[in-house]
Amino acid sequence: MMRGIFTVGFWTLASRIFGFARDILIGAFLGAGPVAEAFLIAFALPNMFRRFFAEGAFNTAFVPMFSKKVEDGSDAEGFAQDAFSGLASILIVLTLVAQLAMPWLVLAMAGGFAGDERFPLTVDYGRIAFVYILFISLAALFSGMLNATGRFAAAAAAPVLLNIILVGVLLGVSWSVPDGKMTTLVDPAEAYGRALIWAVPVAGIAQMALVWFAVYREGYRINLRLPRLTPDMRKLALIALPAMLAGGVVQVNLLVGRFVASYFEGAIAWLYYADRLYQLPLGVVGIAIGIVLLPDLSRRLRAGDDAGGRFAFSRAGELSMALTIPAAVALAVISVPLVSVLFERGEFTSDDTAATALALTVYAFGLPAFVLQKVLQPVYFAREDTRRPFHYALVAMFVNALVAIGLSVFIGFLGAAIATTAAAWVMVGLLSRGRRGLGDVAQFDDRFRTRIWRICAASVAMGIVLFASALMLGPFFGEPGLRYVALALLVALGLVSYFGFARLFGAFNLRELRGTMRGH
């Protein structure tokens, strides 16, 4: 399991690095203007529905069922074929309907766009980008098959293709104009926006092709055919429906945040750039652990290995907190230098830095909660219990909407970030309370409970070192040639101080970690 986590984490880190390059270029070429906001909303549309249909259903319902069929030696390929055909049929219909309903979808995502130049541009972009959902959702199914069989590399590497393609397109447009000017366009940003939006469905095809080929190499022959309503598909639908609804609730939370932000000029872009920074530890740690832990727990429960399941669950929680809590502290303490060095250039101004850093600080307080959700939910899904997480998600949705709309009247767009963080902690509280009835496999062991406080202490100590170091290095962040070196030094000081304090306080043991990686 630990090797799988580090495999997924490595490729996710690679994807996030290319994602940072993509976002740096988007910030430089598009800034936080109308074209940037139109692209970000249009790109968010297929990703929202992808999480609703593909990740919400198949990473929670399909993976445990497919894992059991692989373990039992039953017809796993036939089940996957039926699931593929059914999902493809739903997605084709959804894509066609979305083309007609795009103006209303845009208004639901960003009501503040109504009546200004962003609305028609977003509708146009949205129709192009929405095709992405067909390819990326089918890619998610193939990825679930690979994860269930313990093959994590190809599925984890697929998102790298998206960012490589988008970075290549941005650089290509830039290099195609030698003098940096586009005299045929009123707004040069539109050339970048148009190229970016067409690159999205192309990237979806590339991602699907990669994981389809990996599945093919594993011996599974999955082709498109007419869907069949078999008993297994009925069971999948019954399990998947609450999971899809729960995924929909999470997307409603994001939708509320974007809707509130759309009434404040530039806010959608500020929240997006802040989201990209806190998504780095969330993706590398939280998502990686969630992907690997679910099939591992499913296999252990099938084999009756409750002790092994509890050990795996506890070590996943321990590792996630050992990496996430210090990351959260660092994002909060040095948010301004991070945003300034990474994004402040071209169309991205110092005012954009200040607003983005403020949102990042708020998101940082919710980062441990976002990751803990990825650890806690698999203990429900491995038992094919998707109803209770759905009910908990409904409560979190209510909290998110209440806080976001209520606070926006007083503090503007920042209310959306606070609401996201508050809803995440509410969700963690409900998941923690509900797992008490799931047996010992869902309980953290004594080692976890002892070390979590030491991890927190080491993280706070690191935060103090970072704060003092940021003050001393402050003048260097204003120098164009030195600010990159200053940020690298600041990050290095954070890493060294955290691992030093962690060793001093006994937060974790590197020898134990290496032993776990070897399977001991």
* Tens-place pLDDT, residues 264-282: 888 888 888 888 788 777 7
Domain boundary among 396, 417, 444: 444
Shared domain check, 384 and 461: no
> What pLDDT is attached to residue 519?
47
| Phi, psi for 454 (deg, rounded to 5) | -70, -35
> What pLDDT is attached to residue 201?
93
Q: Which residue type occupies 382? A: A
- Dmax (CA) for the chain in angstroms is 69
Confidence of residue 185 (pLDDT cuts 50, 70, 90): very low
Domain boundary among 429, 444, 459: 444
Q: Could you tell me the sign of the dihedral formed by the alpha carbons of 405, 407, 412, 418, in that order? A: negative
> What pLDDT is attached to residue 426?
93
The region of weakest confidence among 46-55, 109-118, 189-198 is: 46-55
Shared domain check, 275 and 219: yes
> What pLDDT is attached to residue 514?
58
Name which residue leads in pLDDT, 289 or 78: 78
Tokens of 331: 């994002």
Q: Tell me how far apart the alpha carbons of residues 312 and 315 are, in angstroms, rounded to a whole number.
A: 5
Tokens of 428: 């963690």
Confidence of residue 250 (pLDDT cuts 50, 70, 90): low
End-to-end Cα distance, the chain: 12
Over residues 317-341, mean pLDDT: 90
Q: Which residue type occupies 399? A: V
Q: Which domain holds residue 63?
A: 2-444
Confidence of residue 245 (pLDDT cuts 50, 70, 90): low
Residue 408 has pLDDT above 50, yes or no: yes
Residue 248 has pLDDT above 70, yes or no: no
Q: Tell me how far apart the alpha carbons of residues 475 and 481 are, in angstroms, rounded to a whole number.
A: 12
Shared domain check, 500 and 440: no
Query: Which residues does 491 contact at the CB level (< 8 Å), separation at least 6?
Result: 330
Q: Tell me how far apart the alpha carbons of residues 229 and 234 are, in angstroms, rounded to a whole number.
A: 7
| Phi, psi for 332 (deg, rounded to 5) | -75, -40
Number of domains observed in the structure of the chain? 2
Residue 121 has pLDDT above 70, yes or no: yes
Over residues 345-372, mean pLDDT: 88
Q: Tell me how far apart the alpha carbons of residues 278 and 331 are, in angstroms, rounded to a whole number.
A: 7
How confident is the prediction for the chain on average, in pLDDT?
82
How many other C-beta atoms are found inside a 10 Å radius of the C-beta of residue 305?
15
446-492: per-residue pLDDT in tens?
A: 888 889 999 999 999 999 999 999 999 888 887 777 888 999 999 99
> What pLDDT is attached to residue 510?
63
> What pLDDT is attached to residue 198?
93
Shared domain check, 74 and 32: yes
Tokens of 360: 């990042």
Q: Tell me how far apart the alpha carbons of residues 494 and 499 are, in angstroms, rounded to a whole number.
A: 9
Confidence of residue 399 (pLDDT cuts 50, 70, 90): very high
Residue labelled with tokens 């970016």: 196
Shared domain check, 219 and 318: yes
Q: Could you tell me the sign of the dihedral formed by the alpha carbons of 173, 37, 332, 251, in that order? A: negative
Whole-prediction pTM: 0.70
Determine the 3-state secondary structure of 500 from DSSP: helix
Shared domain check, 433 and 364: yes
> What pLDDT is attached to residue 509?
66
Residue 124 has pLDDT above 60, yes or no: yes
As to burial, measured by CB atoms within 10 angstroms (0-12 exposed, 13-18 middle, 19+ buried), residue 367 is buried
> Do residues 207 and 139 make contact, with C-beta atoms less than 8 angstroms apart?
yes
Q: Which residue type occupies 148? A: A
Shared domain check, 51 and 24: yes
Shared domain check, 287 and 163: yes
> What pLDDT is attached to residue 177?
59
Shared domain check, 497 and 391: no
Residue 147 has pLDDT above 50, yes or no: yes
Tokens of 28: 């430089």
Q: Tell me how far apart the alpha carbons of residues 133 and 203 are, in angstroms, rounded to a whole number.
A: 11
> What pLDDT is attached to residue 182?
46
> What pLDDT is attached to residue 512?
62
Give CA torsion, residues 280, 282, 283, 286, to 10 deg: 150
Shared domain check, 516 and 434: no
Shared domain check, 418 and 465: no
Residue 23 has pLDDT above 70, yes or no: yes
Confidence of residue 184 (pLDDT cuts 50, 70, 90): very low
44-80: per-residue pLDDT in tens?
A: 888 777 766 655 556 667 777 887 787 777 778 888 8
Q: Which long-range contacts (CB under 8 A, 24 or more apart) does 20-23 make?
A: 20/276, 20/280, 20/342, 21/163, 21/167, 22/163, 22/166, 22/167, 22/170, 23/272, 23/273, 23/276, 23/342, 23/343
Determine the 3-state secondary structure of 366 from DSSP: helix
* DSSP character string of 311-352: HHHHHHHHHHHHHHHHHHHHHHHTHHHHHHHHH-STT--HHH
Over residues 161-177, mean pLDDT: 85
Shared domain check, 352 and 245: yes
Which residue blocks in 176-266 are alpha helix, DSSP H?
Answer: 189-217, 231-261
| Phi, psi for 117 (deg, rounded to 5) | -65, -20
Closest to 388 measured CA to CA, from 50, 141, 60: 60
Domain boundary among 444, 473, 500: 444
Residue 329 has pLDDT above 60, yes or no: yes
> What pLDDT is attached to residue 203?
92
Which residue blocks in 262-305 are alpha helix, DSSP H?
Answer: 267-281, 288-302
Q: Could you tell me the sign of the dihedral formed by the alpha carbons of 284, 287, 291, 294, in that order? A: positive
Q: Which residue type occupies 516? A: T
Q: Which long-range contacts (CB under 8 A, 24 or more apart) does 70-79 make?
A: 70/148, 70/149, 71/299, 71/302, 71/303, 76/220, 77/220, 77/221, 77/222, 79/232
Residue 498 has pLDDT above 90, yes or no: yes
Q: Tell me how far apart the alpha carbons of residues 255 and 264 are, in angstroms, rounded to a whole number.
A: 15
Confidence of residue 187 (pLDDT cuts 50, 70, 90): low
Over residues 397-407, mean pLDDT: 90
